[in-house]
Amino acid sequence: MTEDGRRLFLAYNVRSYGVSPRAWLSPQLTGREIFTADYWSRITRLAEKGLFDAVFAGDSSQFLGFNRIDIDGVDRFVAWASVVPHTERIGVIVTASTTYNDPYRLAERLLSLDLLSDGRVSWNLVTTFAEDAAANFGLARHPERGLRYRRAEEFAEVVVGLWDSAGDGPAVAHRGENFTVSGRLPLPRSPQGRPPIIRASSSDEGRRLAGRLAAAVFDSALTVTEAQERYRKVKSDARDAGRDPADLAYLPGLRIVLASTTAEAKARVDELFTQDPITRSEHESWFGGLIGANVADLDPDKPIPATVLEAATAAATADRDHLRASTLRVLADGPQIPLSEHLLRTRYLSGGHGTFVGAPEHLADRMEHWFRSYAADGFVIAPDLVTETLPILVEEVVPLLQRRGIYKHEYAASTLAGHFRAAAGRLSEVSA
């Protein structure tokens, strides 16, 4: 434990077989594992052995296309419910959209899974970013961001009201802009009080909801300075809402390519980039989107024109797209290198998430540095290869973190809410 009693929170992002589009090609896999209960429980049991606080998976309400098996369509409730009987302490984080669900149904499903797991469930509240999902739900178009966020706030109010009605709490009588719901959930109260809510956004609108209702914020931050700034904002949101900042954990995502040596890890990324034409073209298309220009139109041997970067930064600022803005800042502040070199380097940027490519010792350094500098209360770790990476984390990285006094030696709590509380730092401990 650290001097101030904080403990690093770790969640493992089981993004199908991994973030890498070639993850399914691993010789350890048949490629059909995601459809089996065994896969999900095998990963989760191993993560539990490494005292991970939770497993996590994102979600999507549409078919993402033929080159995307990184976010599969496996129903998250079903997958995590099948894991629960085979585990005891590790939490499960269910991602569910407020745009394409109904609040009563979702409140019922989350509380049911929470009861079945004796208090190990958390809801990762998303509003769905992908536009094509609308066509699967009878909508002419995906609701714009403002509408989605308003609906999300009302949705969360209703869900929390229903959770509070459980046991012998007061019945809900809600009539709002999006929902009319009355009644109670005929279930016992959650062993956690309420299943903790995670808000995966640090935009202003997302933060308001998080400050009032969430137990954790998932975020993406590229640099430690940026993360520290967000950490302080998130903690003040909790304080402003009359809550203890320690009740709101700040958890940036961390994409990792982990191997015994840095050279080996880098080679894995390079190989992916050079050998998988889809990865390369998707990356170029992502990079083009980031700088707001078609990569093929620019001279690969020259630096990105300043005008292009300025326009892109202005557009990102106008859209309040801080993820994009901060990535652009990293590009603008870096050395003036040719576009082709940028493309090679940004392989490691992973669309705005903090990225690590290297060996266990360095990963422990990276996490410890961020944790001790109040840039994070913990991390949501997304590996390029799920099955290859987890044993290294459990057997090599976790012992390093334990020796450095920032990671637990046993679970201190039996609920996921307890795991969150053990991790989150207070605002007063942050030097401004």
Partner 1 sequence: MGKRHGRHIHLGLWLTFLDAADWRNPDSRAEELNSLAPYVEVAEIGERAKLDALIRGDGLGLPLPSPDQAYAGSLEILTLLAALAARTEKIGLIGTASTTFTEPYNLARTLATLDHISNGRVGWNIVTSVAGEEQFGYDQIPGHEERYERADEFIEVVSKLWASWESDAVLVDRENGVFFDPKKINRIDHHGKHFHVAGPLNIARPPQGRPVFVQAGDSDRGRNFAAEHAELVFTAQRDLEKAQAFYRDVKERVKRQGRDESRVSILPGLVVTIGATEAEARELHDQFLARIDYERTRTSLEALLGGIDLSDIDLDEQVPEERLPEAATLTRQPGRAQIFVDLAKEKGATLRQLLQALGTAHGHGRVFGTPRQVADHIERWAEAGAADGFAISPAQGLAGARLFADEVVPILQDRGVFRREYTGSTLRDHFGLWPVS
Residue 202 in marked binding region: yes
Choose between 66 and 170: whose C-beta lies nearer to partner 1.
66
Print the binding letters for residues 80-119 with partner 1: x by CB under 8 A, - otherwise.
-xxxxxx-------------xxx-xx--xx--xx-xx-x-
Percentage helix, strand, coil, to 5, in the chain?
Answer: 50, 15, 35
Choose between 100 and 374: whose C-beta lies nearer to partner 1.
100
Choose between 82 and 236: whose C-beta lies nearer to partner 1.
82
Told to check if 431 binds partner 1 by CB under 8 A, we report no
Residue 237 in marked binding region: no
Told to check if 285 binds partner 1 by CB under 8 A, we report no
Told to check if 183 binds partner 1 by CB under 8 A, we report yes
Q: How far apart are CA 422 and CA 8, in angstroms?
A: 8
Q: Closest approach of Cβ 23 to partner 1, in Å?
A: 10
Q: Looking at 43, 51, 57, 69, which residue binds partner 1 (CB under 8 A)?
A: 69
Residue 149 in marked binding region: yes
Q: Hey, how many other C-beta atoms are within 10 angstroms of the C-beta on 167?
A: 12
253 - beta bridge partners? 380
**Environment class of 409 (CB within 10 Å of its CB; exposed 0-12, middle 13-18, buried 19+):** exposed
Choose between 7 and 89: whose C-beta lies nearer to partner 1.
89
Q: Closest approach of Cβ 386 to partner 1, in Å?
A: 15
Q: Closest approach of Cβ 143 to partner 1, in Å?
A: 15
Residue 59 in marked binding region: yes
What b/e sequence results for 1-21 when a residue is b if at least 16 CB atoms lie within 10 Å of its CB, and e otherwise? ebeeebbbbbbbbbbbbbbbb
Q: How far apart are CA 197 and CA 209, in angstroms?
A: 10
Output DSSP code: residue 293.
S
Residue 95 in marked binding region: yes
Q: Closest approach of Cβ 13 to partner 1, in Å?
A: 18
Told to check if 131 binds partner 1 by CB under 8 A, we report no
Told to check if 177 binds partner 1 by CB under 8 A, we report no
Print the binding letters for residues 347-386 with partner 1: x by CB under 8 A, - otherwise.
----------------------------------------
Whether 378 and 53 have beta carbons less than 8 Å apart is answered as yes
Strand blocks (E) in 98-196 = 121-126, 172-175, 180-183
Q: Looking at 5, 31, 193, 334, which residue binds partner 1 (CB under 8 A)?
A: 31
Whether 386 and 23 have beta carbons less than 8 Å apart is answered as yes
Q: Looking at 45, 49, 132, 329, which residue binds partner 1 (CB under 8 A)?
A: 132
Q: How far apart are CA 156 and CA 98, in angstroms?
A: 8
Q: How far apart are CA 30 and CA 318, in angstroms?
A: 45
Output DSSP code: residue 169.
-
DSSP H or E segment with residue 262: helix 262-275
* Residues that constitute the known binding site for FMN: 59, 95, 149, 202-203
**Which residues bind to partner 1, rule: CB under 8 A?**
22, 24-25, 30-32, 35-37, 40-41, 60-64, 66, 69, 72-75, 77-79, 81-86, 100-102, 104-105, 108-109, 112-113, 115-116, 118, 132, 135-138, 179-183, 185-188, 276
